[in-house]
């Protein structure tokens, strides 16, 4: 029996001349559970009254129906990127944060799921089951990402983007490893029994009179501001 569950994405507050957007997509592994889940919830907030600086997180190739009941060898097209939607000639520095979340049954509310940010140890187990084709040519990980299994890792685009343009994707697909063992699948089942969310948070800030290092500090502060719904990096 299949259930569709929507996980509320976090609305991240905007500080100064910067913007943030979030998407969430869900994956369900058929070998882990007989329940499907999918979600693609998007929120966007712009604090600039003149609306001259704006951006969107987009995933042009993602089809939520392809992420249901996955089996070893399944490939889900997923291509998170940031589009500069500014109404003026404002180039932008951009960043993306990737947050892995597990869905498990909510004992207090039958038929609902509880969403939990995975620990690095859980991410390590997850990466034995899935493979993500990271684009390391166009994106650079934040210096605070000290573990390959960090959750909430932030990646900065290596160049600015002009209005109407988009970054190249941070990655283009998520593959369920064909050689995933029963032991590996069983190990992740305890924290992914209702499915997996890969939450993508994007941020942008103006490039005018802002060097790359300063922009990265601004973007980092935006995405990790837990007081306003952000997610700290967990190594």
The tens digit of pLDDT for each residue in 173-183 reads: 999 888 888 88
Instruction: Determine which helix (DSSP H) or strand (DSSP E) holds 43, and give its type and residue range.
Output: strand 40-45
106 part of a folded domain: yes
Total residue count of the chain as it appears in this document: 235
Considering its fold, how many domains does the chain have in total?
1
Range with the largest mean pLDDT of 24-38, 80-94, 114-128: 114-128
Residue found by looking up tokens 């800030």 in the block = 205
200 part of a folded domain: yes
| Cα separation, 7 vs 4, whole angstroms | 10
Q: What is the pLDDT of residues 2-37, one digit of tens each?
A: 222 332 222 222 223 344 444 444 444 443 332 222
Q: What is the pLDDT of residues 219-235, one digit of tens each?
A: 898 888 888 778 899 99
| Cα separation, 105 vs 99, whole angstroms | 20
233 part of a folded domain: no
| Predicted structure pTM score | 0.81
Q: Give the C-alpha distances (Å, rounded to integers) separating 222 from 18, 49, 162, 205.
A: 8, 18, 21, 10
Instruction: Determine which helix (DSSP H) or strand (DSSP E) holds 220, and give its type and residue range.
Output: helix 212-224
Q: Is 179 helix (H, G, I), strand (E, B) or coil?
A: coil
12 part of a folded domain: no
14 part of a folded domain: no
3 part of a folded domain: no
With b for 16 or more beta-carbon neighbours within 10 A and e for fewer, the 180-203 pattern comes to beeebbebbeebbbbbbbbbbbbb
Q: What is the mean pLDDT of the chain?
A: 77
Residue 49 lies in domain? 19-228
pLDDT at residue 34, rounded to an integer: 28
Q: Give the C-alpha distances (Å, rounded to integers) separating 65 from 68, 127, 139, 142, 228.
A: 6, 22, 28, 32, 32
Q: Which two tokens stand for residue 132?
A: 């993500």
């Amino acid at each position: 029996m299949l259930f569709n569950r929507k996980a509320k994405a976090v609305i991240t507050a905007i500080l100064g001349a910067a913007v943030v957007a979030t998407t969430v997509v869900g994956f369900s592994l058929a070998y882990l559970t007989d329940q499907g889940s999918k979600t693609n919830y998007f929120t966007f907030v712009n604090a600039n009254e003149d609306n001259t600086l704006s951006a969107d997180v987009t995933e042009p190739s993602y089809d939520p129906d392809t992420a249901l009941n996955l089996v070893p060898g399944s490939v889900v097209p997923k291509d998170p990127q940031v589009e500069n939607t500014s109404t003026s000639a404002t180039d932008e520095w951009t960043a993306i944060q990737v947050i892995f979340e597990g869905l498990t049954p909510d004992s207090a509310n039958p038929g609902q799921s509880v969403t939990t940010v995975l620990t690095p140890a859980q991410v390590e187990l997850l990466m034995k089951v899935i493979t993500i084709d990271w684009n390391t040519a166009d994106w650079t990980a934040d210096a605070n990402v000290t573990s390959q299994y960090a959750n909430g890792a932030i990646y900065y685009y290596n160049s600015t983007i002009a209005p109407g343009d988009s970054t190249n994707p941070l990655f283009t697909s998520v593959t369920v490893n064909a050689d995933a063992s029963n032991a590996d699948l069983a190990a992740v089942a305890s924290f992914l029994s209702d499915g997996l969310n890969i939450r993508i948070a994007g941020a942008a800030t103006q490039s005018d009179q802002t060097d790359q290092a300063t922009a990265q500090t601004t973007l980092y502060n935006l995405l990790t501001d837990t007081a306003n719904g952000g997610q700290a990096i967990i190594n």
